[in-house]
């Protein structure tokens, strides 16, 4: 499977609207961060993790013409707000991707986009018509590969990371519960939240992520969900060699089992 980071920025994106700091003004393309999302290409199937607030731009940049499934980590705006743009795939293919989400996240999406779930009074512009499958902590199969949900704490919110083969994606977390470490053994690539240098109540800081990467011990860890405190080139010089910063468009090839 080919895994591509479509966005690696925090909820505001980087640059942030109106900001003139050195990271927001940086000419390094790796400092341009859309909201977080990951594309997994597996044979003829495309699986997306989260429909970010930059979903449309990400689909256009990556020239994605079909999506078979979407895995939702949690319900925050930066992770779900591209949901309405799923309509585009219906216009072209008459078939919507299947969304996998916890009962809580699915209910939140239904409330947020209630017009798509029976509340619309007219359907002039078309409505996203997207089936949801409820997931819990048990592994499930998507497009012939196994997905293991990884319970995480995002502040007080319980959310899911996902493991597929020897790849794991753990965005938006401030704590990895003790039981989840056993699900993370033997990883090749770990994508891990690394918001900024200072501690934060709902996200891992970069120093915390480095300690966790040491314990989980994948072959390589890439940080994601960075804000505008983090200048790519400087951060990479300071990080240990087995912990790197992710950037939009970073892609790698991995076995799916
Ligand atoms: Zn987020
Ligand atoms: Zn800035
Ligand atoms: Zn979040």
User: How confident is the model at residue 115, as a pLDDT?
Assistant: 85
User: How confident is the model at residue 101, as a pLDDT?
Assistant: 98
From the CA of 211, how far away is ligand 1's center (Å)?
A: 21
Superfamily of domain 2-246: Ribonuclease Z/Hydroxyacylglutathione hydrolase-like (3.60.15.10)
Q: Which ligand places an atom closest to the C-alpha of 193?
A: 1
Q: 95-128: per-residue pLDDT in tens?
A: 789 999 999 999 999 999 988 887 667 666 677 7
From the CA of 230, how far away is ligand 2's center (Å)?
A: 9
Contact 168, 162 (CB under 8 A): yes
DSSP one-letter code for 67? -
From the CA of 122, how far away is ligand 3's center (Å)?
A: 32
From the CA of 1, how far away is ligand 1's center (Å)?
A: 24
Q: In the block, which residue shows the tokens 């902590």? A: 137
User: How confident is the model at residue 124, as a pLDDT?
Assistant: 66
Which sequence spans correspond to the domains of the chain? 2-246
Q: Which ligand places an atom closest to the C-alpha of 174?
A: 3
DSSP SS3 for 102:
coil
From the CA of 168, how far away is ligand 3's center (Å)?
A: 17
From the CA of 80, how far away is ligand 3's center (Å)?
A: 10
Distance CA(140)–CA(239), nearest Å, equals 35
**224 pLDDT exceeds 90?**
yes
From the CA of 108, how far away is ligand 3's center (Å)?
A: 13
Query: What's the mean pLDDT in 71-78?
Result: 98
User: How confident is the model at residue 249, as a pLDDT?
Assistant: 98
Reported as type and span, the H/E element at residue 2 is strand 2-7
From the CA of 121, how far away is ligand 1's center (Å)?
A: 32
Mean pLDDT (the chain) is 95
Q: Which ligand places an atom closest to the C-alpha of 21?
A: 2
Edge-to-edge order in the sheet of strand 157-164:
140-142, 145-154, 157-164, 167-170, 189-193, 220-224, 243-245
Listed residue (193, 176, 201) closest to 230, CA to CA = 193
90's tokens: 């219906």
**69 pLDDT exceeds 80?**
yes
For residue 214, CA distances in Å to 5, 89, 139, 204, 218 come to 22, 41, 25, 14, 8
Which residues make Cβ contacts (< 8 Å) with residue 244, sequence separation at least 6? Answer: 220, 221, 222, 223, 236
Query: What's the mean pLDDT in 175-182?
Result: 98
- pLDDT over 70, % of the chain: 95
User: How confident is the model at residue 65, as a pLDDT?
Assistant: 92
pTM of the model: 0.96
From the CA of 216, how far away is ligand 1's center (Å)?
A: 22
From the CA of 72, how far away is ligand 3's center (Å)?
A: 11
Strands (E), 102-210: 132-134, 140-142, 145-154, 157-164, 167-170, 189-193
Distance CA(249)–CA(6), nearest Å, equals 6
Q: 8-51: per-residue pLDDT in tens?
A: 999 999 999 999 999 999 999 999 999 999 999 999 999 999 99
């Amino acid at each position: 499977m080919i895994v591509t980071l479509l966005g690696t920025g925090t909820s505001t994106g980087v640059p942030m609207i109106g900001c003139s700091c050195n990271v927001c003004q940086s000419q390094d393309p790796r400092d341009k961060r859309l909201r977080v999302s990951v594309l997994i290409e597996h044979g003829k199937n495309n699986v997306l993790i989260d429909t970010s607030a930059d979903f449309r731009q990400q689909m256009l940049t990556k020239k994605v013409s079909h999506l078979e499934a979407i895995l939702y980590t949690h319900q925050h705006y930066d992770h779900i707000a591209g949901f309405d743009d799923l309509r585009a795939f219906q216009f072209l293919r008459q078939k919507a991707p299947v969304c996998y989400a916890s009962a809580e996240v699915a209910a939140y999406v239904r409330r947020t986009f209630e017009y798509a779930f029976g509340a619309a009074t007219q359907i002039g512009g078309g409505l996203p018509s997207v089936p949801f499958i409820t997931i819990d902590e048990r592994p499930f199969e998507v497009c012939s590969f196994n997905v293991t949900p990884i319970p995480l704490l995002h502040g007080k919110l319980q959310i899911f990371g996902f493991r597929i083969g020897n790849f794991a994606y753990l965005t938006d977390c401030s704590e990895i519960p003790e039981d989840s470490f056993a699900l993370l053994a033997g990883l090749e690539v770990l994508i891990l939240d690394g918001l900024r240098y200072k501690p934060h109540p709902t996200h891992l800081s970069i120093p915390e992520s480095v300690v966790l990467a040491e314990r989980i011990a994948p072959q390589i860890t890439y940080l994601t969900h960075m804000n505008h405190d983090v200048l790519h080139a400087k951060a990479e010089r300071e990080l240990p060699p087995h912990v790197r910063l992710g950037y939009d468009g970073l892609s790698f090839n991995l076995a799916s089992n």
